[in-house]
A and B are shown apart, each in its own frame.
Chain A
Amino acid sequence: MAEPVPPAERDDRPDRGWRRWRWPLLVGVVALATVGLLALLTNIMERQREGLDPFYRVVALTDTTVDPAVWGQNFPLQYDLYRRTVDMTRTRYGGSEALPRRPTGEDPRDTVSVSRLDEDPRLREFWAGYAFVEDFREERGHAYMLSDQVFTRRQVVAQQPGTCLNCHASTYVAYLRAGNGDLMEGFARVNQMPYQEAVRLVDHPVACIDCHDPETMRLRVTRPAFMEGIRALKAGQGVEDYDVNRDATRQEMRTYVCGQCHVEYYFAGTEKRLTYPWDRGLTADSILAYYEANGHNDWTHQVSGGGVLKAQHPEFEMFNQGIHARSGVACADCHMPYIRQGAMKVSDHWVRSPLLNVSNACQTCHPWDEAELTARVHTIQDRTYQLRNLAIDASLALARAINAAAQADAGNPRLEAARRHHRRAQFLADFVEAENSMGFHADQEAARVLGLSLNEARLGHLALFGDLVQATASALPAPPQAVTPPPRNGTR
């Protein structure tokens, strides 16, 4: 039995402060460790739970389910990311920032992106006589594709056909309905409608069903123009009867579904059939040769007075000439890289510039820090931009020279050859200008195309002022062999 200690004696112990706190302190430390262990335990349980059921089938999806919100019930992670394409962020040579705008009766948009025509006023002369000089802005995210087309001033100054909708709305089901179940027939019918009539058939910007099979989620091509274009391209390479949805590998499809729209195109004939000019290959000069053969003109240039072509947005064509395509990389690898959400690995459906997502888009393969990788991209883009400016200046100088010569003598026999060279210089420069990567998708190819453009401008001046024999002898050099990487299977 211990003797009770007199209170006065206890108070005199020198280590009394520590002794009073040691139990609460130890209890606290062990409690914290327990909290940590429980946090780890519940985290592991959550991840294992997530790993068990990759998705829940909440609704039945059919080949007529257009609304992405319905698909989103089964695939909430992908749907949430998809909705983020509303974000507006600038990169050095692309992207968009939200400029406030006062909505009007005919155009209810309260934000728009910056006008490319104000950024570079030379473009008004470059495209003189074409609807693009009315209104041409930086492209915004996928979420805006339909409204930005409906409300552009280009709709006011020119009557556009239903063809335009192919790439500005989810048209797959609309085509099926218009063709009574026949996709090709519906495509042909919608192409021939006036835009204002055709736009009533669609409700959404590009949606899940435009790239995915609703039963299996497998990627598939839904755009007849791409099916026909890639078939013609493959036929030119000696592959007969190519059916993209039957013959393409999964990795190829991760590029082809993007190539349904991010391409050069024209509207063929009075039926305004959307056509991708790939019979002779995918390079800018192969495409130019196609147009030279069929004589297609988009408009008459107001300054040169000659028929010219508008290059559209040939990202697919340009990318295919670059080192990334050569290495088997797909559009989706950089623009929709895999990301982890808990235990789930999903493709990032927030489609955007890799420059806004360097970590997932580039560093998966390239072991350099973000600043270094961004600097490498900017180096390519700055060099391409300088060459692009030279090519546009040279093309404009030729157009003005032709204009002056025509004013002086409309019957000048040299005008025809000079206009032919101007048409080529204009298209080749525009091919790089319209391509949305400022050279990055294929840097040496972009430089080569701009070099060809500058040469055509030089030949145009020679045709106008120089030795006639020397100038007319020059023809467009034969395009190089199409560069198409061998098909590859599997993931990265």
Chain B
Amino acid sequence: MRPPHLGLLLFCVLLGLAVGTGVFTFGYAKGASYLTNDPAACANCHVMEAHFASWVKSSHSAVAVCNDCHTPHDLVGKYLTKASNGFWHSFAFTTGDFPDPIRIKDHNRAVTEEACRYCHADVTAAITAGSHLVGTGETSADEAEGWAVACTRCHRTVGHWVR
């Protein structure tokens, strides 16, 4: 038998270390909790404590949890969004490279806007059907997303007060 290749051996040892570290970190960081719908999981990180506390007191806490507004309503989209946010949040918090107060990114804002319209469709359909609302030029960010108007521009505090 040919002796195992030295490179392959080193790679296997290292891969094992990486997987082991990954599994341990996943467990230590309560990674499994992020697969659930429990809002407390989102407040695992201190940065979310204020958002969580104000969500508890908000008008929406009786009808919606974090995932209802911050992940898409299809299964694939939901876990893709969770995976993407999970990676980038870990990256940002580890490097310390994030703005404070934290700000929502365009993709996640779009997810939230869609969530508003998912539940309140009978109201929002009537609003967006009105062509007079298109191109008011009020906010270029919303228009870039293809919206004449965004729910959260005015109803910013229904989910939680803190930005």
**Residue positions of A touching B, CB distance < 8 A:** 2, 22-24, 26-27, 30-31, 33-34, 36-41, 43-45, 47, 51, 339-340, 343, 345, 359-360, 363-365, 367, 492
Interface with A: B65-73, B94-102, B121-129, which one?
A: B94-102
Q: CB distance B46 to A2 under 8 Å?
A: no
Interface pairs A-B: 9 shortest CB-CB: A23-B7, A343-B46, A34-B18, A41-B25, A30-B14, A37-B21, A43-B94, A40-B94, A30-B18
B83 CB–A CB distance under 8 Å: no
Which residues from A are CB-within-8-Å of B156? 367
Q: CB distance B100 to A340 under 8 Å?
A: yes
Total A-B Cβ pairs within 8 A: 77
Which residues from B are CB-within-8-Å of A363? 101, 163
Which residues from A are CB-within-8-Å of B163? 363-365, 367
**Chain A CB within 10 Å, residue with most, of B5, B6, B29, B49:** B29
Which residues from B are CB-within-8-Å of A31? 14, 18
Closest Cβ of chain A to B93, distance in Å, is 6
Q: CB distance B93 to A43 under 8 Å?
A: yes
B161 to chain A: closest residue by CB:
A492
Which residue of A27, A38, A41, A359 contacts B10 across the interface (Cβ within 8 Å)?
Answer: A27
Q: CB distance A38 to B21 under 8 Å?
A: yes
**In residues 117-157 of chain B, which contact A (Cβ within 8 Å)?**
156
A31 to chain B: closest residue by CB:
B14
B62 CB–A CB distance under 8 Å: no
In the assembled complex, the Cα of A367 lies from the Cα of B162 at a distance in Å of 11
Given contacts A2-B2, A34-B17, contact A360 B11 (CB under 8 A): no
Which residue of A37, A339, A359 contacts B22 across the interface (Cβ within 8 Å)?
Answer: A37
Q: CB distance A23 to B5 under 8 Å?
A: yes
Given contacts A30-B18, A40-B94, A359-B99, contact A22 B7 (CB under 8 A): yes
Which residue of A23, A360, A492 contacts B100 across the interface (Cβ within 8 Å)?
Answer: A360
B17 to chain A: closest residue by CB:
A34
**In residues 1-34 of chain B, which contact A (Cβ within 8 Å)?**
2, 5-8, 10-11, 14-15, 17-18, 21-22, 24-25, 28-29
Q: CB distance A44 to B14 under 8 Å?
A: no
Which residues from B are CB-within-8-Å of A47? 45-46, 93
Which residues from B are CB-within-8-Å of A37? 18, 21-22, 25
Residue contacts A-B, CB under 8 angstroms, 16 given: A23-B11, A27-B10, A27-B11, A30-B18, A34-B18, A37-B21, A37-B22, A38-B21, A40-B93, A43-B94, A47-B93, A339-B100, A343-B46, A345-B46, A364-B162, A367-B163
